[in-house]
Amino acid sequence: MARVNGQLWDITRPLEGEECSLELLKFDSPEGKQVFWHSSAHILGLALELRYHQTASAAAPQAEEDVLLCDGPALQEEDGGGGFFYEFFLPMKEGHATTASSDDFPSIQQLIASVLKDRHPFQRMKVSKELALSMFAHNKFKLYVSRSATLHSNTQSHTLRTFVGRS
């Protein structure tokens, strides 16, 4: 991660213009930690989708038995030490509540390790507000978060394999 002309800049984004100021950010900087934790939340989100069989996309409607990811923010250090998490909803199955438990952690950890081993790149996308809302139309929680957030006429999303997250 870097700061280019005062703006956060991911490592695969090309530099623009003939001249710029460039500051490389390490994990020990506040911005470096936030980016690391934000990216880690995206990796956790993908692992949760894989573990709980998320199949929805703009092209394939949400299956009723699939997980719905909610929000996965990076935590501020002043909120308790920093880090990240991902909220998710598991639907009822056969009239019973579906839950996640610590018994699921090993399989989620294996999925995270697999995603990291495969070295899938994050891809940055600039999308219109309308497209951002349509991308999350299948997920009532992400749609709510997207509608509640201040979305500019062009916003950023990042993809990681099949995972799409708001930035």
More confident of the two residues 113 and 161? 113
What pLDDT does residue 107 have?
A: 94
Lowest mean per-residue pLDDT among 20-34, 114-128, 147-161? 147-161
Q: What is the pLDDT of residues 83-135, one digit of tens each?
A: 899 889 988 777 777 888 899 999 999 999 998 998 878 877 777 777 777 87
The yes-or-no verdict on residue 54 having pLDDT over 50 is: no
In sign, the C-alpha dihedral spanning 39, 45, 51, 56 is negative
State pLDDT tens for residues 56-92. Answer: 444 454 555 578 888 888 888 776 678 899 889 988 7
- What structural domains does the chain harbor? 39-166 (3.30.980.10)
Q: Is the pTM for the entire model greater than 0.85?
A: no
Q: 83 is written with which tokens?
A: 């880090």
Handedness of CA 16, 120, 90, 103 (dihedral sign): negative
Locate the DSSP E strands across the chain. 2-4, 7-9, 22-24, 68-69, 74-75, 83-84, 88-89, 122-128, 154-160, 163-166
pLDDT score at 56: 45
Look at residue 117 in the predicted model and tell me its pLDDT: 93
